[in-house]
Amino acid sequence: MLTPNFSVQYLLDCDDTNYGCDGGWMTDAYLWTIDHGVILESDYGKPYRRKAEKCSAKSSSPRFYNDGANEEATVTNQRLKEIVTQQPVGAAYHSVLKCMDFYKSGTLMPDDCHTDCSNPDKREVNHAITIVGYGKSERKGCDEYWLIKNSWGTTWGE
């Protein structure tokens, strides 16, 4: 399945219900796109810059409007697999951002980031990604993995 490249920079610049790179909630962004839509990265005219700037969306740019967002707070891995086979899924999770910042390729494991994902005191949600698929891994200690799309531009990951 091919996932369109919607402009993250457009949301950072134009969505006034969130706080750009200083935080916000995916649900608020989804609600904002019901009224304002989202545009393709190629139509916005600015690449991802890792900071909010002045909104420069052209009124003539084609918009894609959100008309089917659904929030499920607690989702099993099996349920998530079912959803991901139909469409990409936005997910919020606890990330060790300094570890994620240097990710280049392969399967990222909790040990790679020196974190204990089982400790509830260290699992505050602080990042959002898009889950676009899943697969089986040959890596020891990792039977399956999620294939994600991050919003940090083309230099992040594979």
**What is the rounded distance in angstroms from the CA atom of residue 72 to the CA atom of residue 67?**
16
- Grade residue 3 by pLDDT with cuts at 50, 70 and 90: low
- Grade residue 122 by pLDDT with cuts at 50, 70 and 90: low
What pLDDT is attached to residue 60?
87
For the chain, what is the mean pLDDT? 81
Q: Residue type for 86, please?
A: Q
What pLDDT is attached to residue 73?
76
- 51-98 pLDDT tens trace: 889 999 888 889 988 877 777 778 888 999 999 998 888 888 777 777
What pLDDT is attached to residue 44?
92
Residue with tokens 């494991």: 109
- Grade residue 13 by pLDDT with cuts at 50, 70 and 90: very high
C-alpha distances in angstroms, 50 versus 20, 46, 62? Answer: 9, 11, 23
